[in-house]
Amino acid sequence: MLKIFIGADHAGTELKEKIKKALVSDGYNIEDLSPSASEDGDDYPDYAFAVGEQVAKDEESRGILVCDTGIGMAMAANKVKNIRAALVSNIFSAKRSREHNDANIIVFGSELIKPADALEATRYFLELIFPYSERHNRRINKIKYYETHGRIPGK
């Protein structure tokens, strides 16, 4: 079964735990890369990078990240080579993140989505297989090329 790496900072812990509990019940193999409680707080890039690195190593895996808005987590995760982290706020965006963008990490803002919607969006994200249409694959390959070469293909 699909390996899932999950991470959250202090602001995303409650939602992350709800998602994790449900996915474990569904039979998913979950590895939680979240922090232990710290008096000094925590820094979301640390967990975004940790999840991103694990997903990048295992192309068959997926990741889930949660913070209060999801913005910082998505920005940080997308710095990891071969990661396409999508900040989603509803089921439609979760579906599109897989169908059009072949996202391999889904990111939630705990203040922006209800737990039940986040769980439903996560299930869509995990179950949908990227259809590899010529149009969408061409676009993803442009992203990959730019990530490697630092320029637009053909420029």
The residue from 10, 100, 136, 149 that is catalytic is: 100
Q: What is the pLDDT of residue 131?
A: 64
What are the distances in angstroms from CA 131 to CA 127, 136, 137?
Answer: 12, 9, 9
Let me know: does 48 contact 7? Beta carbons within 8 Å.
Answer: yes
DSSP class of 130: P
- With a CB cutoff of 8 Å and minimum separation 6, the contacts of 49 are 76, 77, 79, 80
Written as six digits, the tokens of 47 are: 């967990």
136 is catalytic: no
Task: Find out whether 60 and 2 touch, Cβ atoms under 8 Å.
Answer: yes
pLDDT at 112: 96
Q: Which of 10, 67, 136, 149 is catalytic?
A: 67
Give the pLDDT score at 37. 55
Question: Are 52 and 77 spatial neighbours (Cβ–Cβ below 8 Å)?
Answer: yes
Query: Strand 62-67 and strand 3-8: pairing?
Result: parallel
CA distance 108 to 126: 14
Domains located in the chain, CATH noted: 3-149 (3.40.1400.10)
Amino acid 104: pLDDT: 95
Q: Please, which residues bridge with residue 64 across strands?
A: 6, 106
pLDDT by 10s per residue, the chain, length 155: 789 999 999 999 999 999 999 999 999 999 999 976 555 668 999 999 999 999 999 989 999 999 999 999 999 999 999 999 999 999 999 999 888 888 999 999 999 999 999 999 999 999 877 666 787 778 887 888 888 888 888 77
Alpha carbon 129 to chain centroid, angstroms: 15
How far is 127 from 52, CA to CA, in rounded Å? 19
Q: Per the structure block, which two tokens stand in for 140?
A: 């993803």
Is pTM beyond 0.85? Reply is: yes
- The residue type at 149: H
- Residue whose tokens read 């996202």: 103
Q: Catalytic annotation on 10?
A: no
